[in-house]
Structure 1
Amino acid sequence: MTKPLEPWMEELLHGDSGARMTEKQARIFKAAIDVFAEKGYAASSTSEIAQRAGVAEGTIFRHYKTKKDLLLSIVTPAMVKLLAPFVVREIREVLDSDYESFDQFLRAMIDNRIAFLNQNRSLFKIIVQEIPFHPDLQEQLEHLIFSQVKGKLDAIVSKFKAEGKLIDLPSLTIIRLTAFSILGYVVLRDIVGRRDESKWDDELEREATINFIMKGLAP
């Protein structure tokens, strides 16, 4: 049974950018996503990607000069044409809402990011695994996504700082500390919870994460 495509893959393959792909390129594209997501870029091989795609390894190199080119052909178009507007669109509702407290905002953000991860697991895994090792991708991610949401995040943080509900630190520092705490919870929830639900108390972990952030940022 063929695994259903994630929403971002469906758009990239069958949207404007995907229209230029041949049938073999599309198979290579999907196989590379699966292998990169499962094993990471460094541990992946073009021979395994070719095997999963049902093509000769030489076919990959007719379309992509190197394995890095293959990775970039997946991540770069996704970030430039799809991921940035996709992520911003998905998170905009959270950023445009009004909150009575900062922890209410945290709960909405956590729910939003979990939903996004559940729908786009392969893309999330590839980005989390590869971004730290590819400065060119880091620059694009910061420029295309963070620059678009930074203003709204800053407005939310500044509002609660002005009300005396958050510590008087630079807004960017508060955003960074909050983002890494939420990311840590969401990633571990996915890794540990999916492997063995009996070892993961999600309600406890979520509340502990929110309390940790709130106590650390209390004035």
Structure 2
Amino acid sequence: MARGDREEEIIEAAVKIFSEKGFSAATTSEIAKEAGIAEGTIFRYFKTKKDILRKVMIKLVEVMGEKIMTRRLAQIFEDNKDKDEKEVFKILLKDRFDIALKYWDMIKVVMTEVQYHEDLKEAFIKNIIMKGKGIVEAYFKQGIEKGRFKDIDTNIAIRSLVGMMGMYVIQKKVMPDLILIEEDKQLDIMIDLFLNGLYKKEEEVL
């Protein structure tokens, strides 16, 4: 097997074990077992368990940082620039929900471990948070300039949007019984609430 393929197998196994047990409780023997290899084989590719975690982070950054957080996010706003805000945010939220659910195991690992590893936190902020923030912030500022949105702190608006999306994803994955409304209707309600906070007083949510 090619070196890159074996390394990929180990990373995939690590994602599964880290997501189930957390970084500290997981062992390289468990990762090896999940990957179907001898434990010693891991150390031909990675020096330490933390090195594996860094590779997991790099994988997430590669997949989400450029292809999803930057390119895909920018494309959503570009492709829908002539639509009203409610339509744009509905497309945006559906896309972000699909991504979060698809990469849930990896996201869960990273969001847990960035609390304890400064280098991982810095990489996450630089490659994921700041890239996505810049694109969404530009959309908000454009709305402010056009007189559609209040002249508000865009950082707070973005944090509110991300918090709303994050809580929905957590509920769907961890506490699905708490979601009592079908997804499309719930999206409409969430977007109405969010936009009512953004629109100027004389504007109405469509």
Same fold flag (TM > 0.5) = yes
1:141 shift after superposition: 2.4
Letter paired with 1:215: N
Residue in structure 2 matched with residue 37 of structure 1 by the alignment = 19
Residue type of the partner of 2:65? Answer: A
> Aligned equivalents of 1:22 and 1:63: distance in 2?
11
- Partner amino acid for 1:43? A
Residues 1-219 of structure 1 aligned to structure 2 (within 5 Å): 20-21=3-4, 23=6, 25-79=7-61, 81-87=62-68, 88-96=70-78, 97-193=80-176, 196=177, 199-201=179-181, 202-219=183-200
For 1:154 and 1:95, locate their aligned partners in 2 and report how far apart those are by CA, in whole Å. 11
| Larger deviation, residues 40-49 vs 55-64 | 55-64
Say if 1:26 and 1:52 are closer, same or farther in 2 by CA, change over 3 A: same
1:107, CA displacement in angstroms?
0.9
* % identical aligned pairs: 27
Paired amino acid for 1:92: A
Partner SS for 1:42: coil
**SS of the residue 2:115 aligns to:** helix
Question: 1:76, 1:137 within 8 Å by CA — same for their partners in 2?
Answer: no
What residue ranges of structure 2 are gaps of 5+ in the alignment?
Answer: 201-206
Aligned counterparts of 1:149 and 1:204: Cα–Cα separation in 2: 26
In 1, Cα distance between the equivalents of 2:199 and 2:116? 34
Give 3-state SS (helix, strand or coil) of 2:149's partner.
coil
Computed over aligned residues only, the root mean square deviation of the Cα atoms, in angstroms, reads 2.8
Would you say how many aligned residue pairs link Structure 1 and Structure 2? 197
8 Å contact 1:32–1:49 — kept in the other structure?
Answer: yes
Deviations 1:16-38 (A, max 9, x none): xxx64363x44322211211223
Q: Any unmatched runs of 5+ in structure 1?
A: 1-18
One-letter code of the match for 1:49?
A: I
